[in-house]
Structure 1
């Protein structure tokens, strides 16, 4: 299975997950008020995922955030059991994001 961005609704807001080729969610977006804003978020992940400087480990070292060029968080990881697990998650985002297709599960509004 190829990696993909799953664009979906969360209540009345839009969000996406980056799902790796093995079916694991490796990044979950912030919530967006419009589909267009969520789509822009996906484009920002694709643009910034390969840049190590755009990642920030949380204080626990078991989660990370990916930031856009303006410093805003685009998405975050799950909680990992260890810092090494979180670092492996970052690598999964880096390798999956650029070529991932979008699976749009939202209804056109």
Structure 2
């Protein structure tokens, strides 16, 4: 199975998870007050997913 975005309703609003093909959650969004906001968040992740790594671990 391919990776997918899963939108869920929570007590605080809406949230999405990015789920890998093996079913493991690899990212969780902030809470959104509307489903439309969560869907816009998914589009933002898709548009910016090719961002560079900013390693601040000092190693």
TM-score (norm: length of structure 1): 0.48
Partner residue in 2 for 1:35:
35
Where structure 2 has 5 or more consecutive residues not aligned to the other structure, the ranges are none
Root-mean-square deviation (Å): 1.6
Residue-pair matches, total: 57
Report which of the two has the higher share of helix: 1
Q: What is the TM-score normalised by the length of structure 2? A: 0.84
* Counterpart-to-counterpart distance in 2, 1:40 and 1:9: 15
Q: Comparing both chains, which one has the higher relative contact order based on Cα–Cα distances under 8 Å and sequence gaps of 6 or more?
A: 1
